[in-house]
Chains A and B, each alone.
Chain A
Amino acid sequence: MPLTTRPTGHSVVSVKDTTPRAEPADRDPSPPAIAEPLRSHAARLLTGTGLSPDTALAAARGEIDPADLPPEAAAAAAALADGWAAAEQEGTPR
C-alpha cells in the first residue's frame, strides 16, 4: 500500500494498491516517500543524525544494514527499528 494513503474526510480510506508489480531486478530499491506534514516532523527530529526521513523509514523497516549507516545515526536507527517492531506487535496485554 502506498505510504501516501491517508485518512480523508471522516473515514479511514483503505486504497487497494493497483500498481503493476515490477520484477525484482527492476524494483526501485528506495523506500516509498513519506507524505507531508509527517515528513517535516521527521526531518526535524532527525536533525544531526545523518538520516533523512526516507532513510529513517528504511532503517525502521530493517532494510538498511546498520553497518552502512554513519556512527551518529546508530542510536536513532536502533530506536526507529524498535519502534517499528513494537508497532507491528499486537497490542494484547499479557
Chain B
Amino acid sequence: MTVEWFDLAGRMHAAATGRVTARLAHAPAPRPDWPVAVSARRARQGVTVTAATREHPPRTAIDGDGLALLHDLGVRITVGGPRTLVVADTHTLPALVALAHTTPRAGGRADTAAAIAFWADRADFPGTGVHLHLPATCQTRWVTGEPPTAERDIATWRAWLGVTDDTPAGLVTLADHVTAGPRLPTSAAVVRDDARAWHRARDDHANGANWAVADTRARAALGLRARCDTADLHQSGLLDDPLARRREVHTGTIVTGTAHPHTGRRAGLTVTCDRMDARLRAGNHVHGWAGEPDDGQSGWNATVADVQARGGALTVTLTAPRLDPRAHLPTAGERVTLRPAPTDPGMQNRGRGRYGTLYGRRGSWLSTGGRPTTTRRDVPLDVAIAAAEE
C-alpha cells in the first residue's frame, strides 16, 4: 500500500501553501443544530466543567454545579432533540459520565445525567451528529503540514484553521468549520438513527429506566450490531466522496484497471488491475463504473467471481453486471473503477430487526444465558490439526 506517501504529499502541500489539504470534499459529520462545547477535567476537588454554546459564552462550574450548568444549556433528555457534545479531547466524556453517575436518579439533574449517558452511548457511532470529537473529525476531513501526532492536539487545528479562541466557544467555531458544506450521502441515515436513539432514551427515562444498569444480553448484542452497522455505513459513505476514493486507490479499497468484457453466452467482465494490492476477493459485491475514481459513480453492480495474479498483473473477473439504466457496460480497453458495493442502511435495519426477533425469542440460549446442549459429530482432520496447534 502506498497511502502513507499519498498522505505525505498532502502534508507537504499544506506546508507549502499554509492551508490545510482536503481529504474529503464532503463534511464528515452533520452540522450541529445545538452544539454544546464542553471541556471537563477530573481532579481531587471534583469534576470541573467548562461549557459554551453559540448563544452562551463559556462558564465554569464544579461537580453538581457543573451538571446544573449543562442543564441550563439545554442538556436534558426531556427536551425535544439532542444537543451535540463538542469536545477537543478523549477525557471530557468519561469525566462527564463519572459526574452523571454521582447524580441521584430521582434528583433534579437526573434528566441531564441521562442526556450525558445518551452522549456516551452514541459516541461509539461513527458519523453521529450528537458527539463531535473535533481532532478526529478534522483529521477525517483535512491534513495539515504537521505530522499526524500533532493533529491529535486541538491547538494544531486552531492554528491551521485560524481560530484564536482557545475556550469552548472556539470549539463551537471549529465545529462549524469542520461540518460546513455538503454532507456525506450516508449521513442522513445516521442522523435518523440518532433521532430514533434519542426518542428511545427519552422514553426509557420517562418510564423510570435506569441508564446506569448494565444492558441485558439481548440489548447489548443489538447495540454491538448497531455500532458495527454504523461503522460499515460510515466507511461506505466515505467512498461516496471523490477525494476519498482517489486516496483509497492507495489502500487497495478502490480498484482501477482496464475492462475486458466477455463475449459469447457467458456475460461478465474481466478487469486487469493497475495495481497488485486490490483487496477484492471472490464473493465480494462491487459497484463499478467506466472512468476514474473521482468521476461520477453511475454504473453497475456485480459480484467478484475470481481474482488471479497472471503475468505480473492482477485480474478480477466479475459475474454478469446488473446495470443502472443510465449507465453502460464498459467496452474493451475502457478504463474502469471498482469499489465495494455501497452499504444499504435499509437492509441493515431489516437485518437488525431480524436479529432482534431472534434474540427476543423465548428459549434463545444467547439471550437467556442457558448453555447449549452438547452434540458430537465428526470433525474434518484439518480442523482437528488446526485446533491442536492452537
Q: Nearest Cβ distance between residue A83 and chain B, in whole angstroms?
A: 3
Given known contacts A34-B12, A41-B147, A88-B13, A6 and B164 CB-to-CB distance under 8 angstroms: no
Q: Nearest Cβ distance between residue A89 and chain B, in whole angstroms?
A: 7
- Could you tell me which residues of chain B, from 35 to 66, have a CB within 8 Å of some CB in chain A? none
Q: Is the CB–CB distance between A93 and B294 below 8 Å?
A: no
- Which of B18-26, B69-77, B94-102, B113-121 is the interface stretch? B18-26
Contact of B4 among A45, A82, A87, A94 (CB under 8 A): A45
Q: Who on chain B is nearest to A84 by CB?
A: B9
Q: Is the CB–CB distance between B159 and A10 below 8 Å?
A: yes
Report how far A66 CA is from B158 CA in the complex, Å.
38
Contact of B2 among A14, A41, A42, A75 (CB under 8 A): A75
Interface residues on A, range: 35 or more
Interface residues on B, range: 35 or more
Q: Nearest Cβ distance between residue B334 and chain A, in whole angstroms?
A: 19
Q: Is the CB–CB distance between A94 and B9 below 8 Å?
A: no
Q: Who on chain A is nearest to B242 by CB?
A: A94
Report how far A56 CA is from B10 CA in the complex, Å.
12
The listed residue with most B CB atoms (<10 A of its CB), out of A6, A11, A81, A86, is A86
Which residues on A sit within 8 Å (CB–CB) of B163?
A: 10
Report how far A6 CA is from B164 CA in the complex, Å.
15
Q: Nearest Cβ distance between residue B390 and chain A, in whole angstroms?
A: 35
Which residues on B sit within 8 Å (CB–CB) of A5?
A: 18
B145 at interface by CB-CB < 8 Å: yes
Report how far A89 CA is from B246 CA in the complex, Å.
11
The listed residue with most B CB atoms (<10 A of its CB), out of A8, A38, A56, is A38
B131 at interface by CB-CB < 8 Å: no
Which residues on A sit within 8 Å (CB–CB) of B146?
A: 37-38
- Interface contacts (Cβ under 8 Å), in number, total 135
Q: Is the CB–CB distance between B9 and A12 below 8 Å?
A: no
Contact with B along A25-67 (1 / 0, CB 8 A): 0000000101101101110011001000000110010000000
Q: Who on chain A is nearest to B18 by CB?
A: A5
Q: Is the CB–CB distance between A9 and B159 below 8 Å?
A: yes
The listed residue with most A CB atoms (<10 A of its CB), out of B25, B147, B162, B247, is B147
Q: Nearest Cβ distance between residue B156 and chain A, in whole angstroms?
A: 9
Which residues on A sit within 8 Å (CB–CB) of B26?
A: 93
Contact of A12 among B3, B13, B160 (CB under 8 A): B160
Contact of B246 among A9, A78, A82, A93 (CB under 8 A): A82
- Give 9 closest A-B pairs by Cβ, nearest first: A83-B9, A91-B22, A10-B164, A79-B2, A87-B13, A83-B6, A79-B5, A41-B147, A7-B159
B residues near A, CB below 8 A? 2-19, 21-22, 24-26, 145-148, 150, 158-166, 182, 241-243, 246-247, 249-250, 294-296
CB-defined A-B contacts under 8 Å, sample of 11: A3-B16, A10-B165, A12-B160, A35-B15, A38-B145, A49-B5, A75-B2, A80-B8, A83-B5, A83-B10, A94-B295
